[in-house]
Amino acid sequence: MTRQSGSKKSGSKNTRYLYLTTTGRRTGQPREIEIWFTRHDGRFYLVAEHRERAQWVRNLRALPHVGVRVGTRRFSAQARVIDARAEPKLARAVRALSEKKYGWGNGLAVELTPAAMNA
């Protein structure tokens, strides 16, 4: 991965990275990561290469309220891990979107629902 984020448009198809801020489950401190993402039906999807071992996944499991930055857009979101057994169609769709955009999609799928959608 490079740090160039392509287009600066807010959440455009060319934007390569999303910045996810979780709250550390032990420290309570903000933790930000840069990660590949896709969009579908107004939600954002991430794929955790290290699955449940990823610290950011552990953090959002403990505290699912997260901060998100995509391009110039910032918002709060609710995060959840997609259970591939309970939602196989969604899990396959997320993987396919990631494979199409990045050429890779193997891992644990995570859904981010912007706070405005939860209201």
CATH number at residue 24: 2.30.110.10
Number of domains in the chain: 1
CA distance 48 to 109: 6
pTM for the complete prediction?
0.85
Burial of 33 (0-12, 13-18, 19+ CB in 10 A): middle
Domain that holds residue 74: 17-118
CA 46/CA 94 separation, integer angstroms = 8
pLDDT tens digits for range 72-102:
999 999 999 999 999 999 999 999 999 999 9
Order across the sheet with 65-70: list the strands. 30-36, 17-23, 65-70, 73-81, 108-114, 43-48, 38-40
**Residue 65 maps to a domain:** yes
User: Considering Cα of 119, then 65, then 34, then 103, what sign does the dihedral take?
Assistant: negative
* Lowest mean per-residue pLDDT among 42-46, 49-53, 81-85, 96-100: 49-53
Residue 80 lies in a domain: yes
- Which tens digit of pLDDT belongs to each residue from 1-21? 333 334 344 455 678 999 999
Is residue 4, in this structure, part of any structural domain at all? no
The fraction of the chain above a pLDDT of 90, given in percent, is: 77
> Is there a domain that residue 72 lies in?
yes
77 falls within a domain? yes
Is the residue at 8 inside a domain?
A: no
pLDDT on residue 84: 94
82 within some domain: yes
